[in-house]
């Protein structure tokens, strides 16, 4: 049996499985039929390649193609934006508020960093911005124990706390 004969014989063999899968994942029967046709076109292109070797059952291969195509379509659909929502002024106000809030938080953090020691700046960057492990930091700064590192971290956080309390009073 030729590769193309297999293709013709199997055209509708797995459609019901694909319809079930697509319906379970936010799709319709129509979506599934379109997807199935796309998958069979991919399969036909693969079958025409001399170096193609089917290493799974045909059903598994077709289902894998459909699953990948459907997931790709779902990812694409999620990026489509509801323009009606965007054109509302509330949307722009919400974005502006978020940007201002983020700028305000960044300014606060920058101000804290200006007021603490260089060692504390480095330690806090390692701990919170670079997400270094305690073991890595202990070795890098030659702390004898993790307890010593924890004490230093506490002292640095106290520097920030004192600065913050001082500026809240103003």
User: How many structural domains are present in the chain?
Assistant: 2
Which of 48, 78, 108 is where one domain is finished?
78
Which of 13, 48, 78 is where one domain is finished?
78
CA–CA gap between residue 85 and residue 90 (Å, rounded): 9
Secondary structure element (H or E) that encloses residue 59, with its range: helix 58-78
Instruction: For 85-144, write each residue's pLDDT tens digit.
Output: 445 555 456 555 655 665 666 677 777 778 888 998 888 888 877 777 888 889 999 999
Q: Which of 112 and 84 is assigned the larger pLDDT?
A: 112
- For the entire predicted model, the pTM comes to 0.42
Domain identity same for 9 and 55: yes
Domain with 147, as residue range(s), is: 116-169
CA–CA gap between residue 147 and residue 152 (Å, rounded): 9
| Max Cα–Cα distance, the chain, nearest Å | 86
Domain identity same for 66 and 16: yes
Instruction: Provide the 10 A C-beta neighbour count for residue 61.
Output: 17
Q: Tokens 């001399």 correspond to what residue?
A: 50
């Amino acid at each position: 049996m030729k590769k193309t004969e297999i293709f013709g014989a199997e055209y509708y063999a797995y459609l019901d499985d694909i319809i079930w899968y697509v319906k379970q994942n936010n799709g319709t029967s129509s979506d599934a039929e379109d997807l199935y046709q796309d998958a069979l076109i991919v399969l036909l292109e693969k079958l025409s390649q001399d170096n193609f070797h089917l290493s799974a059952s045909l059903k598994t291969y077709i289902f894998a193609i459909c699953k990948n195509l459907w997931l790709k379509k779902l990812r694409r659909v999620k990026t489509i934006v509801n323009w009606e929502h965007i054109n509302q002024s509330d949307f722009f106000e919400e974005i502006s508020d978020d940007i201002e809030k983020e700028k305000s938080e960044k300014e606060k953090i920058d101000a804290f960093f200006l007021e603490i020691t260089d060692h504390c700046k480095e330690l806090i960057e390692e701990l919170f911005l670079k997400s270094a492990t305690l073991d890595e930091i202990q070795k890098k700064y030659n702390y004898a124990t993790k307890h010593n590192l924890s004490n230093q971290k506490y002292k640095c956080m106290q520097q920030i706390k004192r600065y913050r309390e001082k500026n809240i009073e103003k």
